[in-house]
Amino acid sequence: MIYKFKSSAGADVLMQRFSAEQMLAILDKKPAAIGVISVAEMSGAIAILESEINRQEHLSRSSVLPSNEDLKKYEPERLRERMAPLLELLRVSEKAKADVVWGI
């Protein structure tokens, strides 16, 4: 299943179900067939995603081993790569004051 994130401010972003639902969970949004990240939520959403990416990368580099659950859930070495297109869409949408909507 593919999630499609759209905004009038930028190109559509397609994400596989796992990555999209992972991102939605990080943002404390429920996976659904349709949804929205409003302009009012964008700066917070960007900060939350960047913080989680940095946290996971730090855990993967630290001498303290992350739990198996963290590794299985987020795959920190790839989280930044998977979230980059959506983060860019959120940034341009925030500047343009345009919501980001998604659908399956």
pLDDT of residue 80: 87
pLDDT in tens, 4-45: 999 999 999 999 999 999 999 999 999 899 999 999 999 999
- End-to-end Cα distance, the chain: 7
**Is 100:90 a contact under the CB 8 Å cutoff?**
yes
Is 100 strand, coil or helix?
strand
Residue extents of the structural domains in the chain: 41-104
pTM of the prediction? 0.83
User: For 49, phi and psi rounded to 5 degrees?
Assistant: -65, -45
Is 65 strand, coil or helix?
coil
